[in-house]
Structure 1
Amino acid sequence: MSAASAKALFRATRPSPVAGVPLIADLPRQDAPADARDPLDYDPTPPDATAAFLGAEMDAILAHGRRVWEPAVGAGHIARVLAQHGFEVIGNDVQDRGWPGVILRSFFAVHEALAPIQITNPPYGQISARDGHGRWLTHALALQPGYLAMLLNADWPAARINGFDALFAKHPPSVEYLCCWKIDFRGGGSPPQRNSWFVWDTNRPAPGPNTWLRKRLYRDAPDARQGVLV
């Protein structure tokens, strides 16, 4: 085979780059096809993800009371499960998607915490290293919640760009719950990533810089099978 024909064959068989898939240096990122991605990064959280988390963290959350602020409440997918477990939920968002009593206000326009507990699945474009520069976390911590929990891409802490090294060194989470199943936010099946709940809890001993406890979270037995990763 001539050199020219070999090059043509290589071009024909070489896989094409996939749009939206990042380089490792850009982690974390969870792009979806343009026609599936909500412009406000609205990804409804299936109830089992919240129920499993509450099964593991209920006592720690209740130590801060029963008033919970869901600052990206959407249609109430997380808020509804919280309410079913006896919490009083205050929800705000930039768009009314049907949660009763939603406060229509940007999270970044709120300068005093609406409750001592924050539990949310924040818009990814505001929390990621590449797009949001960690803006959501920075603002959330500035409001000094007693308890903060966010459902994020499990690769999220791998980011180092845009000041994330300094952010994690100064504000490491208290604990991470790695979901041992892939959460299907959009109902399309075969979700591409794993997720974790990240918790900042003022009642827990302060972890060292870039150090936190990681536990496994199961949706099938949320009260009995949570375990520390070793």
Structure 2
Amino acid sequence: MGRDAVAFVRGIIPSPDRERDDFYPTPPEGTVALLAVERFEGTIWEPACGDGAISRVLEAAGHEVISTDLIDRGYGRGGVDFLLDWQTSADNTITNPPFKHAEAFAEHALRRSRRKVALLCRLGWLEGQGRRRMFTGTPLARVWVFSSRLKMQRGRLAREGDGGGMVAFAWFVWEHGHQGAPRLGWLP
């Protein structure tokens, strides 16, 4: 593998096929689907809040939400590097993390949350020997698979006329105190 190819893989040189900073806002129906199958008690931290797509749905459902992001997109508190934040904590963490940092987000969220962690990730994220060790060594309780593809767009929410989703997604939910294998379920 050449030097430039390695740089793309490591995220040093942004790929022309990826949104800068991995900003793919979560369609509201994705968060609504999570709330239909999971109950969250207490505060919720959305550490990659972007333009507030997840936070707004959570707030509309009556949740107290702490919204932060490394990049200031006009919602929540910008300039906060979640992976270096050892001050903030919450009962729960719900986020759509930058894919290249999803595993680190999961591990850090488990340290900074007291109840649950829910990450929206590609379904294929289940694969890999390294992630298998992470999944079996953490209290992964449920994986909620979308039976229809979410319409995820680079840097913005999907609009009328945008094509269908290209990637299968799932909510990965950890629950402190959970023991045993995770349960698998489907979302409409």
Q: Same fold (TM over 0.5)?
A: yes
Structure 1: where are the runs of 5+ without partners? 1-19, 21-32, 128-133, 219-230
Letter in 2 for 1:91: S
Give the number of the structure whose alpha-carbon radius of gyration is greater: 1
Query: Which has more strand, going by share of residues?
Result: 2
Aligned CA-pair RMSD: 2.2
Trace 1:179-194 onto structure 2 (pairs within 5 A).
179-186=146-153, 187=158, 188-194=162-168
Counterpart position of 1:23: none
**In the alignment, structure 1 residue 38 sits paired with structure 2 residue 38:** no
Amino acid at match of 1:40: D
For residues 1-230 of structure 1, the aligned pairs below 5 Å read 34-35=15-16, 37-57=18-38, 60-62=39-41, 65=42, 67-99=43-75, 101-127=76-102, 134-160=103-129, 163-186=130-153, 187=158, 188-202=162-176, 205-207=178-180, 211-218=181-188
Please list every run of 5 or more consecutive structure 2 residues that lacks an aligned counterpart in the other structure. 6-13
State TM-score, norm by structure 2.
0.82
Corresponding pairs, count: 170
1:164, CA displacement in angstroms? 2.2
- Indicate if the aligned counterparts of 2:118 and 2:174 stay in contact, CA closer than 8 A: yes
* CA shift digits 1:18-44 (9 cap, x unpaired): xx9xxxxxxxxxxxx944522210100
CA offset digits 1:123-173 (Å, max 9, x no partner) = 01112xxxxxx222222223243111011101111122xx32321221151
- Runs in 1 of length 4+ with deviation above 4 angstroms? 33-36
TM-score between the two structures when normalised by the length of structure 1: 0.68
Structure 2 residue aligned with 1:131: none
